[in-house]
Chains A and B, each alone.
Chain A
Amino acid sequence: MIDTLFTGLSLGSILLIVALGLAITYGAMGVINMAHGDLVMVGAYTTVMSGIWLHLGFFAAIPVAFVVTAMIGLAIERLIVRHLYGRLLDTLLATWGVAILLQQAVRLEFGASFFGRHIEGLGTGLQKVSVPEWMQGTFTIAGADINIYRTMIIVVALLFTALTWVLMYRTPVGMQLRAIMRNPKMAAACGIDVDRMNALAFAYGSGLAGVAGVLMSGFKTVFPDMGTPLVVDGFLVVVVGGVGSLFGTLAASGLLGQINGVVAAVSNDILARAVIFGVVIAIIVFKPSGLFSYKGR
């Protein structure tokens, strides 16, 4: 029983960390960033690369991945998304193009493969990241074996959620961002630099994707296509939770994670995912504004 609950919790925390960045880019800014999953992929590759080339450890890769993906996010916002505010579905399509580009950049090793060169850690193949040994063990609570690494993911996911909450609700920057969420034109009229805030928020959301990538790389194989299912999951979590509600995202990821864990325990993983999709459809049909709705722009 505790086993199953813990599995659900750890699945939920992975959903949470992927969805957290989306909650900001989609929830707060009204941009459906289909490249989010591929930013997670970039984060995972950053872990691989920094291990091979910089000999950085697992934890040291977290800030590196954050900076790398935040920079990519900033570039995406400045070059593409900036022109598309208010055209929700167009952002979806344009960022799908970005997603393909990111995948191909990794596959083609930034073009090096054309010249017959190979950059170690990139390319079409699978990559693996080794987690420090002390994290691979388990400890026992009430007769159930609990994996240390998965516990750490839960802790990090909650930490970053708390950090995001503080940023959004306890700092001047967050207040400006929430003002923009409510009404961008009014916010601009009050002297908020909407352009700059949007760029910052997008970069931060993308940075969170990078962190998610580092955490994922420890227990999942890293490959160029890994991002697509992730962005779907993250997106469903945000929509179910209620667009623009950080708490909704937290609750929805917990809920979907638990459902996934319980169904997988009594049947199989494929059916568990199918049930998740079914639950999501039902929630959207009966409560289109999400579980914890919030009036945004």
Chain B
Amino acid sequence: MTSRRAIEIAGYALFIAAILLAPLVLGEFWINRIAKYLVFGMLGVAICLSWGYAGILNLGQGLFFGIGAYMMAMSLKLASTTSQQAASDTPIPDFMFWNAEPGAEQELCCITKTSFLWIPFQNQWFGLVMAVLVPTLIATGLGAIVFRKRISGVFVSVIMLALVLLVRLLIINNQPLTNGFNGLTDLGSFTVGAVVFDNFSKATYYAVALALALSLIGARLLVETRAGMVLQAVRDDANRARYLGFDVPHYQTFFFAVSAAIAGVAGLLYVNVASFASPTFMDLSFSITMVVWAAVGGRQSLLGACIGAILINVMEAGMSETQALVESWRAIIGIVFIAVVLFLPRGLAGLAGDLIDAATRPRSDAAAKLQVTSNRGGA
């Protein structure tokens, strides 16, 4: 057990060292790309936390990611040169002119009916804080309702799925507030003192890498606390945990909110890296894709889910150089996914764990083998 733990710590240390040192060998183009994939790695961590540890398969994680992205993007949109150059006292996003109410005063307060909501976003820190706060609050509120009512399993998945699609439609429908289907493009950069978090800069990369490292370590430490243990007990048998006197919804809501917060941070970082926010973040396929990453990497391993997300995206980027491979790549992903569910329910991390066990334990240890097999099985 100790050797296994040592290997796990070594794995985390190696991974974090690798992402922090990567800019030394990579060019500007790849730094930007890898930063994107690290953001997706954070989504892997968020999914793993709610799916692997809380047993809640969230088919709407894109909601938290998307809201985080939009909150940040609203601030950065106001910081862009085109918004700043608008002939008014306050910066005004270009699309608001196209959607302006006839005869309305050309100020952020009243150019469209809902534009006043943008006023606080003139401060970039407001956008930053809201990008984390809003997803967390929504998750807390939702959790308080859903888990108190003892809704579980697939019904939570359906609620989240319907919710993410609902919000997506509202964003598309509210053109004057959100620029609808086009999303928010032409964004400025987040600036702290002299450091500009430009999407190709190393500063942005390090911010992302640091956020990923922190959320990875934080989540790993969190699931080891007493609360984390109770949560896993709830996942395995909610009724038994309830009879033991634990306030089950309490634990579920807390970890659901943490997962949402990580997704929100991922959203705000993604906007800094990719310089746009779009309703496609809330497409059903994106939310399911996140689950795919986590499943391939290992739904019960935070590091595994994170690496799964990065690995799949790096491979996809490699494939996307040729047009014919792009289409077949999706087919390959489909096959890989079926194969993982059928043959590797614990993903790459599970496979790695088995290999480590096989290497570190004496061969005749039948009891250990038995334990490994009995640990298998789906969520």
Q: Which residue of A lies closest to B180 (CB)?
A: A270
List of B residues within 8 angstroms of A98 by Cβ:
334, 338
List of B residues within 8 angstroms of A100 by Cβ:
330-331, 333-334, 337
A280 and B162 contacting across the interface, CB-CB below 8 Å: yes
A10 vs B379: C-alpha distance when bound (angstroms) = 39
Interface of A is mostly: helix
A274 vs B149: C-alpha distance when bound (angstroms) = 24
B161 and A104 contacting across the interface, CB-CB below 8 Å: no
User: How many A residues, CB 8 Å from partner?
Assistant: 41
The B-contacting residues of A in range 119-168, CB under 8 angstroms, are: none
- B27 interfacial by beta-carbon distance below 8 Å: no
A228 and B284 contacting across the interface, CB-CB below 8 Å: yes
Name which of A32, A89, A92, A114 has the most chain B CB atoms within 10 A of its CB.
Answer: A89
List of B residues within 8 angstroms of A285 by Cβ:
145-146, 149, 151, 159
A271/B341 contact (C-beta < 8 A), A96-B292, A288-B149 known: no
The total of interchain contacts (Cβ-Cβ below 8 angstroms) comes to 119
A104/B330 contact (C-beta < 8 A), A96-B288, A97-B335, A97-B338 known: yes
A97/B153 contact (C-beta < 8 A), A104-B328, A228-B284, A277-B163 known: no
The A-contacting residues of B in range 176-235, CB under 8 angstroms, are: none
- A93 interfacial by beta-carbon distance below 8 Å: yes
- A221 interfacial by beta-carbon distance below 8 Å: no
A104 and B331 contacting across the interface, CB-CB below 8 Å: yes
- B345 interfacial by beta-carbon distance below 8 Å: yes
B327 and A93 contacting across the interface, CB-CB below 8 Å: no
- B172 interfacial by beta-carbon distance below 8 Å: yes
B338 and A88 contacting across the interface, CB-CB below 8 Å: no
The smallest beta-carbon distance between A12 and chain B, in angstroms, is 18
- A6 interfacial by beta-carbon distance below 8 Å: no
B146 and A107 contacting across the interface, CB-CB below 8 Å: no
- B155 interfacial by beta-carbon distance below 8 Å: yes
A133 vs B154: C-alpha distance when bound (angstroms) = 44
B334 and A101 contacting across the interface, CB-CB below 8 Å: yes
Q: Which of A83, A104, A114, A228 contacts B285 (CB 8 A)?
A: A228
A97/B169 contact (C-beta < 8 A), A108-B331, A239-B155 known: no
A84 vs B338: C-alpha distance when bound (angstroms) = 11
- B31 interfacial by beta-carbon distance below 8 Å: no
Q: Which residue of B lies closest to A88 (CB)?
A: B154
B338 and A236 contacting across the interface, CB-CB below 8 Å: no
- A284 interfacial by beta-carbon distance below 8 Å: yes
- B100 interfacial by beta-carbon distance below 8 Å: no
Name which of B57, B158, B335 has the most chain A CB atoms within 10 A of its CB.
Answer: B158
Which 3 residue pairs spanning A and B have beta carbons closest together? A100-B334, A97-B337, A277-B166
A contacts, CB < 8 Å to B: 32, 80, 83-84, 87-90, 92-94, 96-101, 103-105, 107-108, 113-114, 228, 232, 235-236, 239, 268, 270-271, 273-274, 277-278, 280-281, 284-285, 288
6 contacting pairs across A/B (C-beta < 8 A): A97-B336, A104-B328, A113-B327, A235-B158, A274-B173, A285-B149
B contacts, CB < 8 Å to A: 57, 145-146, 149, 151, 153-155, 157-159, 161-163, 165-166, 169-170, 172-173, 284-285, 288, 291-292, 295, 324, 327-328, 330-331, 333-338, 341-342, 345, 378-379
